[in-house]
Amino acid sequence: MKSVAVLPGDGIGPEVVSAALSVLDRLDLPLLLRFGDIGWECWKQEGNPVPERTWRLLEETDTCLLGAVTSKPLREAEVELAGRLRGQGLEFISPVVQLRQRLRLFANIRPVTDLKHGRFNFVVIRENTEGLYAGLDFHGIQDPLWKEVRDHPNAAESGPASTSVTLRLQTSTGMDRILRFGFEYARRHGYSSLTVADKPNVLRQSGNHLRERLERVGADYPDIGAEILNVDAVALWMVRRPERFGVIVAENMFGDILSDLGAGVMGGLGLAPSGNVGDHGSYFEPVHGSAPGMAGQGRANPVATLLTVALLLDHLELAVPARQLRDAVHAVVLRRTAVTYDLGGNASTSQAAESVADQLSSIQAVKG
């Protein structure tokens, strides 16, 4: 039996997770759900938003469903700490950043589907560990880096103390891994094309390095058409011709931006699912955050979390129930009679989920 760590987290997290689990229950799958703690309460009471017992739970389970977590700026984080924990130099590190780093989750998956008309269905896969977010970010430049920078006229005028530099790290290790992941994902999900979004005509050396790796890795996947496009063109076409894309792979920052654009193309945060996957771990979460202003009102759209559960089921190689769940969500969104406010309806979180569960039962009755 597969096991799933369930971390509802903060704000609307517990509401959308509980709604999604009530639907998952209808699928009657051999899954063991084990609940755990994460988020702002853990930070306030224990000085760590991801307690050790939660890391143990993640080690003992096959994957994880996360609701949402609240993050606040440093000063507010310190103020809200329990009195006995203040002044100890405890530092708030975003739980999702901790998960990605400690579990080495190198791929961020963001499916972008047209729930209303079925006109497009692509996925943005973002490299999570290197690129422009590798952490090689300097303000005040010393030798030997200054030697590389000082001939730029703006740097020459500002001087080393008033210059900052961010290095884009592109390694064969990181690029091969994300490209192979992208090709495998394409094969497994029936996509015939893989687009790498980069900027080869400006970032010539690293862009050419990426092209070489794409050619090498792509040789193992002759059935998938591969291309490199400028990231700005990809952004334009995601909006104008989203149906042209299958799998889109991008380095960390380009992927960060394109994947949020994907949530917009899809129709908003209430709909967009995501997954983070590595060689030895994974977690799945809706793209949206904890939306504290909406928490406790039962108004949050559960669709993003339902599609996240479908992604998680795919990952556990439960492709058939994953498809049934997606079909049920699509049918409910299309019918529009039981959808939440953000889709123009007035259903509550649990009513919307119930309607997906009913739809699921009728899909299963037909297919069963």
Residues that bind ligand NAI (CB under 6 A): 12, 16, 68-71, 96, 269-270, 285, 288-294, 300-301, 304, 342
Output 199 or 330, the one with its CB closest to ligand NAI: 330
Cβ–Cβ under 8 Å, residues 306 and 325:
yes
Report the nearest approach of ligand NAI to the CB of residue 17 (Å): 11
Output 141 or 338, the one with its CB closest to ligand NAI: 338
Report the nearest approach of ligand NAI to the CB of residue 26 (Å): 21
Pairwise CA distance, residues 273 & 112, whole Å = 8
Pairwise CA distance, residues 115 & 35, whole Å = 30
Output 251 or 256, the one with its CB closest to Mg ion: 256
Report the nearest approach of ligand NAI to the CB of residue 288 (Å): 3
Report the nearest approach of ligand NAI to the CB of residue 110 (Å): 12
Pairwise CA distance, residues 114 & 272, whole Å = 11
The enclosing H or E element of 153 equals helix 153-158
Pairwise CA distance, residues 297 & 192, whole Å = 43
Of all residues in the shown chain, the one whose CB is closest to ligand NAI is: 289
Output 191 or 284, the one with its CB closest to Mg ion: 284
> Which of Mg ion, ligand NAI, none interacts with 291 (beta carbon under 5 to 8 A by kind)?
ligand NAI
Pairwise CA distance, residues 356 & 298, whole Å = 16
Within 10 A of 94 (CB to CB), how many other CB atoms are there? Answer: 13
Name beta bridge partners: 195.
227, 248
Output 206 or 259, the one with its CB closest to ligand NAI: 259
Output 12 or 58, the one with its CB closest to ligand NAI: 12
DSSP string, 213-274: HHHHHHTT-TTSEEEEEEHHHHHHHHHH-GGG-SEEEE-HHHHHHHHHHHHHHHT-TTT-EE
Q: Which two tokens stand for residue 2?
A: 């597969």
Among 81, 80, 69, 134, residue whose Cα is nearest residue 106: 134
Q: Hunting for tokens 């952004």 — which residue is that? A: 235
Report the nearest approach of Mg ion to the CB of residue 126 (Å): 9
> Which of Mg ion, ligand NAI, none interacts with 304 (beta carbon under 5 to 8 A by kind)?
ligand NAI
Pairwise CA distance, residues 132 & 140, whole Å = 18
Report the nearest approach of ligand NAI to the CB of residue 15 (Å): 9
Report the nearest approach of ligand NAI to the CB of residue 224 (Å): 30
What would the x/- binding string for Mg ion be over residues 245 to 284, using CB under 5 A?
-----------x---x------------------------
Output 169 or 253, the one with its CB closest to Mg ion: 253
Output 259 or 359, the one with its CB closest to Mg ion: 259
> Which of ligand NAI, Mg ion, none interacts with 318 (beta carbon under 5 to 8 A by kind)?
none
> Which of ligand NAI, Mg ion, none interacts with 71 (beta carbon under 5 to 8 A by kind)?
ligand NAI
Pairwise CA distance, residues 113 & 334, whole Å = 13
Report the nearest approach of ligand NAI to the CB of residue 323 (Å): 23
Residues lying near Mg ion in the complex (CB under 5 A) = 256, 260
